Structure 1
Amino acid sequence: MYRRHCGAAAITLVCALAVLASPVQAFAAPALPGPADPPVPSATPASPGGKSLEEVRLEIDELYRRAGAATDAYNLAEEKAEKQSGELVELARSIVEGREKIAELKDRAGAQAREQYRNAGLPPGARLMLSGDPQLFLDGINRARQGQQATKDLLGELTRTQQDVETYTKDAGTNWKKLEADRVKQAKAKKKINAQIAAAKKLESRLEKEERARLRTLEREAAQQAQNAWLGSGALKEINREASPLGKEAVAFATAQIGKPYVWGAEGPESYDCSGLTSQAWAAAGRPIPRTSQEQWRLLPHIAIRDMRPGDLIIYHADATHVGMYVGDGRIVHAPRPGRDVTLAGAGSMRILGVVRPDA
């Protein structure tokens, strides 16, 4: 009965694994010194909706920032789902191997039982003990003891294997539930991402052509003003360190992606999101790091801004939802947001949360 139950569980699990290939919080820490929120430029002409272009810019920026936060949640859920899928595959393999081992052990136990039956219920050692030869008698005792130990070991191994299969089956059920929960999180995050991006695009689509051009100008002006304020604070005075050998490789990879489009959830090679770019750059340098900006902030060693060197990652916003790679001279390479390409930007053009070093 147990064997049939384990077999059904394993078959069900293996069949379920066939669908695994189908598509489907930030660490609380005090903000490190960084630029203040970008200053608001002087009043701009009103848009058709009655808002100034600057108000529209801020609203669009906030929508994309929220989309970035949802992208981090999506990426983290996807990463967990991939890990759980791999664990399920291994558990399924263990269940199958366990079932095969149980069958083998039962066959061996059956062979022993049949041997005893053929010998009137007496194992070879016992028959020798009944002989009149003293040496055969002593040999028989040893063989009987060995036979008893072998039988005991066989039964013990069978029991342990059955317990292992029970554990594998239970773990597989737990992992399957976790996998489905993370897929639900992915779906919710995906819905939120699309909603925020659609809202931002809708706002921008209502602008006239000249206003959209002016909007891009306002974006650049706001970023430059924030960068100037950061540089004016003396942030770069002590930042003159060279990249490590691995850092140089990571920077070379990241800067080679300049011009490729931002696509949320993308890890290359044709497109990237912000943490997809940084994680792939460091993977190319031989140092795998967490996939999301929030996990990069939570798990990687924190570095003071004054100790920053090329290859380090600058984490942005209070919720750690954006990341760029410092490349020197006060600049980063990053994948900004939907509708933009991987580019160079001022390291202080956004509010800095802190700096982490993958190869500390």
Structure 2
Amino acid sequence: MSGSLLRLACTAAVAAQAVLAPVPAAAAPEPRRSVAELLTDLQRLYRQTEQAAEKYNATTEQLERQRAEVHRLDGELAHARLALQGSRTDVGRLARQQYQNSGGLGPYVRLLLAPDPQAALDEGHVIGELARARARTVARLADTEKRKDTLARAARKALDTQLVLAGRQKKQRDDVRTELAGVERLLATLTPEQLTAVARLERQGVAEAQQRLTTAGSLPADRPASPVGARAVRYAMEQVGKPYEWGAAGPDAYDCSGLTSQAWSQAGTPIPRTSQEQWDRLKRVPLPQLRPGDLVVYFPDATHVALYVGNGRVVQAPRPGERVTVSPLASYPVLGAVRPDDQAPATEAR
């Protein structure tokens, strides 16, 4: 926790005084919780907020892809309808021609009565070609009808999916706001002394976790970044000081995976948007083999991510109320690491 947490706490306290009903004088005071309990509660709430935010991010990505698919299908359907109109015009023309020629002699009678049988045979060949052309026109009409119907069904289904995703996104947005409200309510109950003690305890826990990684030999040795990794690090470091905002991917604010995905995109190597997709789809590397630019993923369900910058430190967008900052690698419980610029299949790091 940091000075920015204190600022968030002050804001939350003012908001709470404005909206919370006063406690009756006869109400019994709540039992005083220890600093460790307060820290545990805050960390749980922050983690729940980030879990909800990452779900929101994933759905937002799906919704954007679905909107593009609906747009593509609508375009194809419009072209199919124009083609169908053209095919129907051609078939109508053929029908009129067939009706106008229906009173004439048939091809076999014309052949028998022709003064020049070879000329009649040549004419019959032309007639056969015309018949085949008519058959192709009719077949094209049938195919266009079928394609139009198929595209119409696909477009309706795609639009239904888009509406489902939009509803899910709204619910997940509401979930994030609910979790953030829980953080603010807890912060509003804390005194400045409690906030200072909680921040001190958290820093102590991070230092101990970092020391355990050092003792276990899990911290990486100094390694050079790849050229694209160096560009990703440079971009991420230029964002230091910008605020955390859930769902944001720059340029003015970021959430955790918004920062890492934008850093690599700006470096010329687009990667998945969410921390869970980054963990699932990028190549995993053991911590001792980390090089600057690799991503460190946190928590068992991969709901937080940071970008390794070297010397046992990461740059990250930590959580609501904080700003993009450089932190010890062990700021949160480490799940593992992935390397965006190595496209080998993902494997479990041992």
Both proteins in one fold, TM over 0.5: yes
Residue in 2 aligned with 1:28? Answer: none
Query: Is 1:123–1:144's contact at 8 Å kept on the other side of the alignment?
Result: no
Query: Is 1:263–1:273's contact at 8 Å kept on the other side of the alignment?
Result: yes
Q: Does residue 138 of structure 1 match 2:113?
A: no
Alignment of 1:264-343 (within 5 A): 264-343=246-325
After alignment, is 205-214 or 285-294 more displaced?
Answer: 205-214
Residue in 2 aligned with 1:200? Answer: 183
Q: 2:142 aligns with which of 140, 159, 163?
A: 159
**Structure 2 letter corresponding to 1:113:** A
Q: 1:171 aligns with which of 132, 135, 154?
A: 154
Distance 1:175 1:122, change over 3 A: farther
Residue in 1 aligned with 2:86? Answer: 104
User: What's the offset of the Cα at 1:147?
Assistant: 1.3
User: What's the offset of the Cα at 1:134?
Assistant: 3.5
User: What's the offset of the Cα at 1:142?
Assistant: 2.2
Q: 1:219 aligns with which of 184, 202, 215?
A: 202
Larger Rg computed on CA atoms? 2
Q: Does residue 83 of structure 1 match 2:59?
A: no
CA RMSD of aligned residues (A): 2.2
Residue in 2 aligned with 1:23? Answer: none
User: What's the offset of the Cα at 1:122?
Assistant: 5.9
Output the CA distance in 1 between the equivalents of 2:312 and 2:31. Answer: 38
SS in 2 for 1:348: helix
User: What's the offset of the Cα at 1:215?
Assistant: 2.7
Query: Is 1:250–1:282's contact at 8 Å kept on the other side of the alignment?
Result: yes
**Per chain length, whose mean CA-contact separation is higher, i.e. which structure has more relative contact order (CA < 8 Å, sep 6+)?**
1
Residue in 2 aligned with 1:30? Answer: none
**Structure 2 letter corresponding to 1:159:** A
**Structure 1 letter corresponding to 2:235:** F
Output the CA distance in 1 between the equivalents of 2:143 and 2:294. Answer: 49
With the length of structure 2 as denominator, give the TM-score of the two structures.
Answer: 0.84
Distance 1:259 1:125, change over 3 A: farther
Distance 1:166 1:121, change over 3 A: farther
Output the CA distance in 2 between the equivalents of 1:124 and 1:103. Answer: 32
Query: Is 2:308–2:314's contact at 8 Å kept on the other side of the alignment?
Result: yes
User: What's the offset of the Cα at 1:131?
Assistant: 4.5
Which runs of 5 or more structure 1 residues have no equivalent in the other structure?
1-46
Output the CA distance in 2 between the equivalents of 1:124 and 1:358. Answer: 74
Output the CA distance in 2 between the equivalents of 1:300 and 1:124. Answer: 72
SS in 1 for 2:306: strand
SS in 2 for 1:255: helix
Output the CA distance in 1 between the equivalents of 2:52 and 2:60. Answer: 12
Output the CA distance in 1 between the equivalents of 2:39 and 2:214. Answer: 24
Query: Is 2:217–2:288's contact at 8 Å kept on the other side of the alignment?
Result: no
Q: How many residues align?
A: 313
Query: Is 2:52–2:172's contact at 8 Å kept on the other side of the alignment?
Result: yes
SS in 2 for 1:270: coil
User: What's the offset of the Cα at 1:143?
Assistant: 1.5
Q: Does residue 95 of structure 1 match 2:92?
A: no
Query: Is 1:125–1:143's contact at 8 Å kept on the other side of the alignment?
Result: no
Output the CA distance in 1 between the equivalents of 2:227 and 2:209. Answer: 31
Output the CA distance in 2 between the equivalents of 1:132 and 1:273. Answer: 89
Query: Is 1:334–1:345's contact at 8 Å kept on the other side of the alignment?
Result: yes
Residue in 1 aligned with 2:47? Answer: 65
Distance 1:114 1:206, change over 3 A: same
**Structure 2 letter corresponding to 1:341:** R
Output the CA distance in 2 between the equivalents of 1:123 and 1:215. Answer: 102
Output the CA distance in 2 between the equivalents of 1:184 and 1:210. Answer: 43
Output the CA distance in 2 between the equivalents of 1:357 and 1:123. Answer: 79
Query: Is 1:99–1:165's contact at 8 Å kept on the other side of the alignment?
Result: yes
SS in 1 for 2:330: coil
Distance 1:233 1:115, change over 3 A: same
Q: Does residue 345 of structure 1 match 2:327?
A: yes
User: What's the offset of the Cα at 1:159?
Assistant: 1.3
Which runs of 5 or more structure 2 residues have no equivalent in the other structure?
1-28, 343-350
Deviation string for 1:101-146 (max 9, x for gaps)? 1010110111122223333466998998675334432322221222
Output the CA distance in 1 between the equivalents of 2:106 and 2:225. Answer: 75
After alignment, is 309-318 or 189-198 more displaced?
Answer: 189-198
Alignment of 1:211-250 (within 5 A): 211-236=194-219, 239-250=221-232
User: What's the offset of the Cα at 1:75?
Assistant: 0.7
